Amino acid sequence: MALAYGDYHGLTHQLRFLLFEIGIACSHQQTETAIIHSQSACLSQLQQMATAENLGAGIISHEARDFVAQLKERLYRQSAQSAFFQWERLFLYVDNFIAHQAMILLYQQRWNQELAREMGNATSFWSRLLIKHDPHNLLVFLEQWASPYEFLESQHFIPSAFKPREVLQYAPQFNAQPSLHWCALRKQSVTASAFSQEIQRCFPVEYKTWQEKIARMQHNPDHFTPLPVHPWQWRNAIQTEYSQLIDQKSLLLVPHHQLVKPAMSPSWLIPAKQSKAQLELPLASQFVSGQTGSGNLQTLLEQANQFEHGLFVVRSLNQDTAPVCSFEPSLIENPLFFLKNDQVAVPFDALIKPCPTSGLVLITEMVHLSAISPLRFFAQYAQQFLASFLNLLLKENVSLMFSSGDVLLIIDKSLPKGIILKKTQCLDARLITEVMPGFINTILLGHLQPLLQALCRDFQLKPSLLWKIIKETLLAHLSENSCRAVQIRDYLFADNWFVRKRLSLRLQPRPVNESTYYPIANPLLG
């Protein structure tokens, strides 16, 4: 979707046609306005990132692509080496973001209007959700309705290989419900048998139907391994890469076999009917499950936990067996199995999503329903959250890195009682200096700061009040004078924190360590 500077006429017609195909009629003006808003958001984020990362302060532009072109020219004047940066890829990111974000704005506007109509005279969106949905359907709804999409944010991406129509079919922001194919791969090893047994345990109904369909093809299903496959994956990768196996009848296709709902990552799929497992499919090279060794990690989390109902990490159920093939899915433990009666799981990003009628973010409606003050609500959560992850850092020499889309909060009576991590990277934290930038970016800036900002906006609170709560909690848990506690304290209360770069990392595929982060003023010292 290459865009000429300011020429959105062709894109306007394309998006109107695509949305009309799924039942959403938008006027030319509505579509053009959405594109302009998306372009403006893209330009604003580019300007902020370029300034913060010391790449392009002072560039005057009114178009995102023009800004990138000027940035390319400026950096080339400073260093000829910048000619080898990945400029074409950045232009592609810009074009895709503007088109995708415009579609998201138009679709979600209609979606929120429908949700508001369904609410009728009800005043609390959160209360309405609790009445309407069971835990499974609530999680599926929130994973899609609240799915964020930010420019150059790796955790909020839509695969660039998706064509515009495929974006509507497969991206969570569009309430997508694709139907997975199930392949049948001729068994070659004991590993294949083990995977077959696991998938039969997780999806017994689908497995039985798959057996019947394979038998109708005049094949013995016992000689094959079932492999759920994304329709995009089949069309664009498997048919070409495994054409010889297909010709030999060693790889069979059972089309449109299992309905699923994509979660905040399009590769993470939740079966439409509650099952023992969820699925992670290798749609692209960046989709790699982070659950290796999760059994050992769960033991550490139990020792470090300060939440009333626990701190959990989901397991990959087939992680201990050798892969059957390159497109084998990960069977992921259903996170809902960690819940107790009357509890629900809420994706972190849903907490900071504005509700359709009130305009307040979801966590604000939770605070109202919990009958405690926003300061007390935040203080209780921050204390439990920080204590748990500081315990890991101090006592277990472990630091966890995770994205906001991989965090589920266990909610009981509108209060957070625990956390479920869908994916996490477990780092050896014996060398504090190597893990503290990641700790600050993940725990403080990536998790607590968005909640803090949302509560301050809705309750007209001063951010310094909530940062003070965080500061006091950190000091209380780092009061001992051990060498390790002193190191962590010194890092947390230094003049500057270091934020991970986004624009530079996209331009330079392998930056040196010194250029990975840029400094910001430490909010704990404000």
Which tens digits make up the pLDDT trace of 117-128? 999 888 899 999
What phi, psi does 437 have (nearest 5°)? Answer: -60, -40
- Whole-angstrom Cα distance, residue 63 to residue 44? 10
Query: For 192-216, what is the mean pLDDT?
Result: 94
- Whole-angstrom Cα distance, residue 507 to residue 473? 38
The answer to whether the beta carbons of residues 389 and 307 sit under 8 Å apart is: no
pLDDT value at position 286?
37
Quickly state the pLDDT bin for 516 (edges 50, 70, 90): confident
CA 493, chain centre distance (Å): 29
The answer to whether the beta carbons of residues 497 and 449 sit under 8 Å apart is: no
Position with higher pLDDT, 448 vs 320 = 448
- Classified as helix, coil or strand, 108 is helix
Q: pTM of this prediction?
A: 0.93
Which tens digits make up the pLDDT trace of 207-266? 999 999 999 999 999 999 999 999 999 998 899 889 999 999 999 999 999 999 999 988
- Whole-angstrom Cα distance, residue 7 to residue 316? 47
Determine what percent of the chain is predicted with pLDDT higher than 90.
72
E strands along 272-321, which residues?
Answer: 277-280, 311-313
Q: How far, CA to CA in Å, does 469 sit from each of 113, 383, 441, 487?
A: 37, 8, 18, 21
pLDDT value at position 287?
36
Query: For 498-517, what is the mean pLDDT?
Result: 77
Average pLDDT, the chain: 90
- Whole-angstrom Cα distance, residue 186 to residue 200? 16
Q: How far, CA to CA in Å, does 366 sit from each of 266, 335, 339, 343, 451?
A: 28, 21, 18, 14, 12
- Whole-angstrom Cα distance, residue 154 to residue 501? 12
pLDDT at 415 over 60: yes
Q: How far, CA to CA in Å, does 315 sit from each of 182, 273, 338?
A: 22, 20, 12
Return the HEC string of 7-67: ECHHHHHHHHHHHHHCCCCCCHHHHHHHHHHHHHHHHHHHHHHHHHCCCCCCCCCCCHHHH
- Whole-angstrom Cα distance, residue 355 to residue 339? 25
Residue 21 tokens read as 């195909």
Taking the CA atoms of residue 359, residue 362, residue 366 and residue 367 in that order, the dihedral angle to the nearest 10 degrees is -60
The answer to whether the beta carbons of residues 138 and 344 sit under 8 Å apart is: yes
pLDDT value at position 510?
60
pLDDT-wise least confident of 140-149, 184-193, 474-483: 184-193
Which tens digits make up the pLDDT trace of 321-364? 667 788 889 999 999 999 999 999 999 999 999 999 899 999 99
Which tens digits make up the pLDDT trace of 88-115? 999 999 999 999 999 999 999 999 999 9
Which tens digits make up the pLDDT trace of 7-34? 678 999 999 999 999 999 999 999 999 9
pLDDT value at position 253?
94
E strands along 369-445, which residues?
Answer: 398-401, 407-412, 415-421, 425-428
What phi, psi does 248 have (nearest 5°)? Answer: -85, 0
The answer to whether the beta carbons of residues 269 and 262 sit under 8 Å apart is: yes
pLDDT value at position 191?
66
pLDDT value at position 285?
40
Closest CA relative to residue 488, chosen from 444, 526, 518? 444
Q: How far, CA to CA in Å, does 12 sit from each of 27, 296, 393?
A: 10, 52, 51
CA 302, chain centre distance (Å): 24
The answer to whether the beta carbons of residues 326 and 282 sit under 8 Å apart is: yes
